[in-house]
Structure 1
């Protein structure tokens, strides 16, 4: 069994990778927000969100993760993205 320092080092590396992926994700969602603003689309798309949550639940189950954990994390991420999309609309006005 690994010692505590090794376990924590593994967690730290995963955290680093997650932050890099989140940064990439937010770059793309920023582009989506600009696109929506330019084309007069709503900041929030409930159909897309429902579709994403279904996919995320499947991915989570395939990885042995409780789907409720994935939903909780992604709900927060999506709320941040939606808030930013709303902000983009108000900045342009």
Structure 2
């Protein structure tokens, strides 16, 4: 269950602010772990369909969508792209190892 957090501007002190950041970090890690489950399922489907781990058009599609969403919500699209390219590279490496 997600804890309701105060707006950052309403945090009275560093302790409260840090506690909120810690809650968000737990949520982020949980979502990343959940995403890996989908990556692992992709390995099975790619194996069944003779697809490679790295599909460049899909990579660029994901990055484009992430940049657009980052811009939409006021997050730095350059940072979003960098983070996702690292995550995508890791995911492709994981898929390649599992695909053999």
Question: Would the TM-score normalized by the shorter structure come out above 0.5?
Answer: yes
Unaligned runs of 5+ in 1: none
How big is the shift at 1:78? 0.5
CA separation in 1, counterparts of 2:87 and 2:80? 11
CA separation in 1, counterparts of 2:72 and 2:12? 25
Quote the residue 1:35 is aligned against.
Answer: 45
Q: Equivalent of 2:92, from 59, 72, 82? A: 82
Query: Is residue 10 of structure 1 aligned with residue 28 of structure 2?
Result: no
Quote the residue 2:70 is aligned against.
Answer: 60
Unaligned runs of 5+ in 2: 1-10
How big is the shift at 1:38? 2.6
CA separation in 1, counterparts of 2:28 and 2:67? 18
Quote the residue 2:4 is aligned against.
Answer: none
> TM-score w.r.t. structure 1 length?
0.91
Q: Is the CA contact 1:34–1:85 (under 8 Å) kept in the aligned structure 2?
A: no
Q: SS in structure 1 opposite 2:75? A: coil
Higher relative contact order (CA 8 A, sep 6+): 1
Matched pairs, number: 90
Q: SS in structure 2 opposite 1:42? A: coil
- The range that moved more, 36-45 or 81-90, is 36-45
RMSD value, Cα: 1.0
How big is the shift at 1:62? 1.3
Q: Is the CA contact 1:37–1:88 (under 8 Å) kept in the aligned structure 2?
A: no
